[in-house]
Amino acid sequence: MTEGIAAKDLPAGTLLGVNDWCRTGYGGPCPPGGKHRYFFKLYALDIALQEAVRHTGECALAQAAEKVRQSGVTAEIALLEVTGERIASVIDGEARRWPADLFVIGTHGRSGLSRLLLGSVAEGVVRGASVPVLLVRAE
């Protein structure tokens, strides 16, 4: 909420979300006099966190590519950032664009309730893949 905050005082890149009335700022009911309180949920994504996650992914991919190269195999790597789409579909779309001969994907190997609750990206890729998929279980 930016009421009382000058636009020049907001951090660069600040985006305002809209409320249930499709407006920014407060737009809720006005209760009768007396004590009342409001509860707000504030969602913020730290750009530094995004960069740290991206950097971690890049490092993991570089290490995996180096291990593959040491064994004499050529590999291409890609770090995909997904927002609002099924991860498995994005991965398969990337395989079609390359075109890849084989997809190697790590998996946690979860089963039972944890797999049911968390889902399985690897399983989704295998089920919808247009190319062969090799699953490698994490140690």
Polymer length in residues for the chain: 139
Q: What is the predicted pLDDT for the residue at 29?
A: 63
Does the N-terminal peptide bond of residue 99 adopt cis geometry, omega within 30 degrees of 0?
yes
Q: Pick the more confident residue, 84 or 19.
A: 84
The CATH architecture to which 80-139 belongs is 3-Layer(aba) Sandwich (3.40)
**Residue 71 corresponds to which tokens in the numbers above?**
């064994």
Lowest model confidence (mean pLDDT) among 4-18, 74-88, 95-109, 118-132: 4-18
Q: At what angle do helices 87-97 and 121-128 cross, to 10 degrees?
A: 50
Beta bridge partners of 105: 135
Give the start-to-end residue ranges of the domains of the chain: 80-139
Q: What is the pLDDT of residues 59-102, one digit of tens each?
A: 888 888 898 899 998 888 888 888 878 888 888 888 888 877 88
Beta bridge partners of 134: 104
Q: What is the pLDDT of residues 25-54, one digit of tens each?
A: 666 666 666 666 666 666 666 677 778 788
Residue listed under structure tokens 């664009």: 97
